[in-house]
């Protein structure tokens, strides 16, 4: 019987190993065991003949580890994790990421405690970040994606731009709202408010290129109506 060896970015290794994604998980730069066949993950849908109707979407397929508690929210408050910016080296980051000031009106939603899921706060947002006493900083609690998954598991809802945290929340089957630019990545298709990749995800789309304010107002209105499903 064959075995699967999965090579990934170093910060994903512990998450994939904990989740049992493959018999062997190695990080880029580590010694690669002998193998008979190789392919990239992005090529698998074509090799396996996956269509829109047969996209595997059984979630959760990633597992969060226990033992990374977050600051508690007041009784009756929603716990909402937010990510407003992705990796600045991404080719489309200027379109997919927003400034924290763009997101700030959402943070006024009553009966809600917001947690920053950012691994790093962009330099442009540092002053705004320090001024927002209602946004809890969790950076010191996370060293890799296994830690981030543990934090996401504590949330009632995740709200994120199109970056890794949105995919992580979807793979963990957490309620997640993904905020998309006017011209999104191909995986999100066009016009849909749902996605075949993640059953627990809802999509919010820019109506005008670069205009985040109307979208944030829409998200704030939806958040005022959001009620988490009971666990278990």
Instruction: Tell me, yes or no, whether 62 lies in a domain.
Output: no
18, 47, 54, 196, 227 from 191: Cα distances, Å: 35, 28, 20, 13, 25
Q: Are 111 and 76 in contact (CB under 8 A)?
A: yes
Instruction: Tell me, yes or no, whether 67 lies in a domain.
Output: no
* Entry pTM: 0.94
Same domain, 125 and 45: no
**Domain extent for 37:** 5-54
Instruction: Tell me, yes or no, whether 61 lies in a domain.
Output: no
pLDDT value of position 155: 96
* Regions in the chain scoring below 50 on pLDDT: none
């Amino acid at each position: 019987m064959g075995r699967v060896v999965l090579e990934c970015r170093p910060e994903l290794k512990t998450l994939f190993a904990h989740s049992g994604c493959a018999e062997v998980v190695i990080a880029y730069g580590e010694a690669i065991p002998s193998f008979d066949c190789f392919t990239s993950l992005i090529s698998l849908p074509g090799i396996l003949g996956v269509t829109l109707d047969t996209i595997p979407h059984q979630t959760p397929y990633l597992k969060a580890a226990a033992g990374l508690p977050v600051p508690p929210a007041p009784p009756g408050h929603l716990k909402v994790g937010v990510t407003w910016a992705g990796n600045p080296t991404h080719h489309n980051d200027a379109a997919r990421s927003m400034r924290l000031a763009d997101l700030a009106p959402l943070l006024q939603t009553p009966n809600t405690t917001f947690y920053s899921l950012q691994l790093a706060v962009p330099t442009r947002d540092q002053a705004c970040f320090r001024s927002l006493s209602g946004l809890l900083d969790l950076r010191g609690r996370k060293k890799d994606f296994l830690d981030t998954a543990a934090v996401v598991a504590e949330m009632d809802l995740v709200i994120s731009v199109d970056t890794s945290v949105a995919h992580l929340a979807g793979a963990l089957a957490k309620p997640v709202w993904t905020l998309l630019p006017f011209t999104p990545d191909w995986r999100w298709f066009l016009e849909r408010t749902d996605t075949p990749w993640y059953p627990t995800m809802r999509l919010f789309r820019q109506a005008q290129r670069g205009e985040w304010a109307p979208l944030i107002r829409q998200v704030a209105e939806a958040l005022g109506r959001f009620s988490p499903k009971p666990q278990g």
